[in-house]
Structure 1
């Protein structure tokens, strides 16, 4: 049996890199800059990751795969 479904387009951004950046530099918003989300990256930087709450939410979203890059594409695994 062959699978005729079209290939899923993926981001050129790495899942592992985004998770590590969020874990180690999350309050600085580096993971958001990496994903191309400059505006929210600056907001994250200024608020220190929403005092850590936003960083924790981003980390969970990255791990479960619901956070995408600036173009809405899933991260490359």
Structure 2
């Protein structure tokens, strides 16, 4: 999944996926540190994957599916329905992801949300 998101890595997608929000934001605003950091990340993905595996809890909510739903259907709230957050899913559906700000919030916090949900 990380390599698939790396294709969009110049906007930081793979960094958000691995829970590296600060560098994800930097990558987003600098086009992957002017594409140089994006290419270097191709070799750093295995280490980022190991770190994320240690940090986040597995469970019934699958990280990969949630990230795919957020990345491609986030404005419709489908990832929120998948996580069992029906009210906010409907809210996202009616407001196009709370006018985009909710989707940005989820890019920054999705791993924590899933880990918390899986912990329960």
Q: TM-score, normalised by structure 2?
A: 0.47
Greater share of helix residues, 1 or 2? 2
Which is bigger in relative contact order (C-alpha 8 A, separation at least 6)? 1
* Cα deviations by residue, 1:13-42 (Å, 9 ceiling, x for unpaired): 100110110010000000000001111100
For residues 59 and 18 of structure 1, the distance between their equivalents in structure 2, rounded to whole angstroms, comes to: 11
Q: TM-score, normalised by structure 1?
A: 0.71
SS of match in other structure, 1:74: helix
| Consecutive aligned runs of 4 or more in structure 1 exceeding 6 Å deviation | none
Q: Offset at 1:59?
A: 1.6
Structure 1 residue 73 corresponds to structure 2 residue 117: yes
